[in-house]
């Protein structure tokens, strides 16, 4: 499973909200009682599924709502993307919104709501309800909020966000002034800052702190922790000792000199705010009451109601518009450990990575809810499957006997069987005609084939006899023949837009470098594995070309991952890497490639400077480069069109 990053940027940037009074006459606590009585239960279930997949979700959703309300009011404008021609740069492009994530999660929940209450509930209301549920799921208070907001149809300019969102080094004077202008009491101001109890603060937001606070530090031990944590620019500091729990520890820490940001450190010292910091540190219930009051005021600020604004719709089907203000097709993923989002965690298998230090970067905003949900997860059901499903399995291959030494794994034929089950469930849910449209416009991606070599034809020792009996051309021919049947089956089940990644330069991974020390080329990569990959890739491209011609309305895309990864390895320094040969996480071998990454492995100091995370897989930094080149690359990277062009291609009628 690929390693990913649990990013959670400081909640301080929530502070200046456009509040005009305690509410809006257009909002009501029973707004959806008759039109959509299931709304709050559906949002609660959606947030819970997100929380189970990523426990940092609550902090992200809180910050998302707070930033939305800050600029132009609580109208879901932060969910709107810039227009395709970049003639207008939306508020999300503001540097003040760095690290904002989980925007797609609101669209995921919106799709569930639309299936039951089409065209009735705004993205703005769903965002507020999601933030409310995030607080409750983390152990905070249950908050009743009035509803009836409508969505803005056009995002404000990024410069407005630059102006209205305060800097990370804002102090007590600035915060109190901001909130007094918006009708907030001092007690409510202190309480809303208690949202910092969730999450972390990135060191990028602490640069000015080092100069302003250290000279007046009341807790030198804590200051040393901050200093040590921020040796690297990408470091972070926990906001309190329980960053995943909504409690009053933030105030307890602040009183003992453990405030991370400038405002956190000043509140227990300022005569205006100190009494409430002490009160909330002693009485968690008092904090919860004041926070609930402040939350309602902030989420009701400057809202659109009645005939103002619009209700953004998400029918999931053709021509739909998500809360992001754009059409996003469903995404169905097939493959091996390069794209496995967790399916192997639900089977008996030796090919797992659900233990530290793996997963250190898991949770980046990729896909519709952070990542396309794994097929075997119990939460991958209901309306969630309309957005797409991940069927990939670590150790899986094109051939059914690939990866047999892992015991459990799901090879591509079985992944196709699982998609067939999903297909029937979708047809039952929305009808055959609409399901046909969904599949024709969905994006199907397949990343597979490496294991057929690494854990089959090239398996150390045990494959020697097979290599003597079966020439490389015959083995690759068997792979291509099987792959033809599998891709044709996928087409027959309704897929039309199919991205197929070729096999990367497997001879360059740390594992192959370590087991083939005497068979390396001038670049240090093992020659024979790369020759096998190139032989397969040439035949794969020919296969996809033929399928494009033979299968009506098919759009097979050839993603040349080999070319991209080999370029990164050969020119690693120009991409910002210091090491293109060794694993960041390893324990044995010249290149740390002999034993998979695990709890006893040593981990490099800065994984962003390594091309490879472990003996087999790229780092998140390398994967990001690969992804961007596939999204926007030319025909040398992906043929005949790139992913962005595929996404923008006209939906099939």
Q: Which sequence positions are flagged as catalytic?
A: 67
Pairing of strands 555-559, 602-603: unpaired
The Cα 378–Cα 554 span in angstroms is 32
156 annotated to bind ligand: no
75 is in an annotated binding site: yes
Question: Is 523 a known ligand-binding residue?
Answer: no
Is 240 annotated for ligand binding?
A: yes
Q: Is 166 annotated as a binding residue?
A: yes
Torsion angle of C-alpha atoms 516, 622, 558, 353, degrees rounded to 10: 70
Look up residue 648 and give its two tokens. Answer: 């923008």
As a whole number of angstroms, the distance between CA 7 and CA 353 comes to 19
Angle between helices 57-70 and 103-116 (to 10 degrees): 90
Query: 151 a known binding residue?
Result: no
185 labelled ligand-binding: no
SS3 state at 556 = strand
What are the φ and ψ backbone dihedral angles of 224, each rounded to 5 degrees?
Answer: -65, -35
Structure tokens at 292: 């609930």
E strand or H helix at 582: strand 579-583
Residue 196 is labelled as binding a ligand:
yes
Any idea what DSSP says for residue 241?
A: S
Contact at 8 Å (CB) between 165 and 175? Answer: no
Which among 360, 340, 362 has a CA at the least distance from the CA of 351? 340
- Among candidates 447, 425, 328, which has minimal Cα distance to 380? 425
- Alpha-carbon distance values, 339 to 160, 374, 414, 422 (Å): 38, 10, 16, 19
Whether 77 has a binding-site annotation, put simply, is: yes
Q: Is the dihedral angle over the CA atoms 624, 628, 630, 634 positive or is it negative?
A: negative
265 neighbors 113 (Cβ within 8 angstroms): no
What are the phi and psi torsion angles at 498 (to 5°)? -125, 115
54-57: long-range pairs with CB below 8 Å, 24+ = 54/6, 54/362, 54/363, 54/370, 55/244, 56/6, 56/7, 56/8, 56/199, 56/244, 56/363, 57/102, 57/105, 57/134, 57/370
Q: What is the DSSP letter of 508?
A: G
Please indicate if the annotation marks 68 as binding a ligand: yes
Closest to 221 (Cα-Cα) out of 264, 267, 253: 253
Cα Rg for the chain, rounded, in angstroms?
26
Distant-in-sequence, close-in-space partners of 307: CB < 8 Å, separation ≥ 6: none
Q: Is 71 annotated as a binding residue?
A: yes
Q: Report the run of H or E that residue 605 belongs to, with start and end.
A: none
The answer to whether the CB of 52 falls within 8 A of the CB of 374 is: no
Binding residues: 68, 71, 73, 75, 77, 166, 196-197, 240, 242, 247
Binding residues for substrate: 166
Binding residues for Ca(2+): 68, 71, 73, 75, 77, 197, 240, 242, 247
Binding residues for heme b: 196
């Amino acid at each position: 499973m690929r390693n990913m990053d649990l990013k959670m940027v400081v909640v301080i940037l929530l502070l200046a909200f456009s509040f005009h009074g305690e509410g809006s006459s257009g909002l009501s606590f029973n707004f959806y009682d008759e039109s959509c009585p299931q709304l709050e239960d559906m949002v609660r279930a959606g947030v819970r599924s997100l929380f189970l997949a990523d426990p940092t979700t609550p902090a992200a959703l809180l910050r998302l709502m707070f930033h939305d309300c800050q600029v132009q009011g609580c109208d879901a404008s932060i969910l709107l993307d810039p227009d395709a021609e970049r003639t207008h740069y939306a508020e999300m492009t503001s540097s003040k919104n760095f690290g904002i994530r989980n925007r797609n999660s609101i669209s995921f929940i919106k799709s569930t709501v639309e299936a039951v209450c089409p065209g009735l509930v705004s993205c703005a209301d769903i965002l507020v309800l999601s933030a409310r549920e995030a607080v409750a799921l983390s152990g905070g208070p249950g908050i009743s909020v009035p509803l009836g907001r409508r969505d803005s149809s056009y995002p404000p300019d990024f410069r407005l966000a630059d102006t209205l969102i305060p800097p990370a080094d804002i102090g007590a004077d600035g915060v109190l002034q901001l909130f007094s202008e918006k009708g907030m009491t001092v007690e409510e101001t202190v309480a809303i800052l208690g949202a910092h109890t969730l999450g972390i603060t990135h060191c990028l937001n602490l640069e000015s702190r080092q100069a302003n606070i250290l000279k007046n530090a009341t807790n030198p031990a804590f200051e040393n922790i901050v200093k040590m944590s921020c040796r690297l620019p990408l470091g972070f500091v926990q906001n309190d000792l329980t960053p995943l729990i909504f409690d009053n520890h933030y105030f307890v820490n602040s009183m003992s000199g453990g405030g991370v940001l400038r405002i956190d450190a000043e509140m227990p010292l300022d005569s205006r705010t100190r009494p409430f910091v002490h009160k909330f540190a002693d009485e968690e219930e008092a904090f919860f009451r004041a926070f609930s009051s402040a939350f309602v005021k902030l989420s009701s600020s400057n809202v659109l109601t009645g005939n103002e604004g619009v209700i953004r719709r998400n029918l999931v089907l053709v021509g739909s518009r998500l809360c992001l203000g754009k059409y996003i097709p469903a995404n169905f993923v097939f493959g091996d450990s390069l794209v496995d989002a967790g399916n192997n965690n639900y089977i008996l298998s030796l090919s797992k990575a659900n233990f530290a230090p793996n997963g250190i970067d898991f949770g980046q905003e990729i896909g519709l809810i952070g990542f396309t949900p794994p097929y075997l997860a119990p939460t991958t059901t209901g309306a969630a499957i309309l957005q797409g499903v991940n069927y990939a399995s670590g150790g899986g291959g094109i051939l059914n006997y690939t990866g047999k030494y892992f015991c459990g794994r799901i090879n591509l034929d079985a992944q196709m069987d699982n998609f067939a089950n999903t297909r029937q469930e979708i047809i039952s849910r929305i009808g055959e005609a609409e399901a046909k449209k969904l599949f024709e416009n969905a994006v199907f991606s397949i990343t597979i084939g490496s294991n057929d070599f690494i854990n089959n034809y090239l398996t150390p020792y045990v494959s020697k006899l097979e290599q003597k009996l079966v020439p490389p051309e015959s083995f690759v021919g068997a792979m291509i023949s099987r792959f033809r049947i599998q891709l044709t089956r996928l087409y027959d089940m309704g897929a039309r837009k199919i991205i197929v990644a070729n096999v990367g330069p497997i001879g360059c991974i740390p594992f192959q470098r370590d087991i083939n020390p005497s068979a390396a080329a001038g670049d240090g990569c093992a020659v024979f594995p790369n020759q096998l990959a190139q032989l397969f890739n040439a035949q794969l491209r020919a296969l996809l070309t033929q399928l494009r011609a033979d299968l009506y309305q098919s759009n097979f895309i050839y993603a040349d991952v080999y070319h991209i990864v080999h370029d990164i390895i050969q020119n690693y320094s120009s991409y910002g890497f210091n090491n293109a040969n060794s694993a960041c996480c390893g324990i044995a071998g010249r290149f740390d490639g002999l034993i998979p990454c695990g709890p006893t492995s040593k981990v490099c100091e800065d994984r962003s400077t390594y091309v490879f995370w472990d003996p087999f897989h790229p780092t998140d930094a390398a994967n990001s480069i690969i992804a961007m080149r596939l999204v926007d690359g030319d025909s040398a990277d992906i043929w005949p069109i790139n992913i962005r062009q595929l996404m923008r291609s006209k939906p099939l009628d």
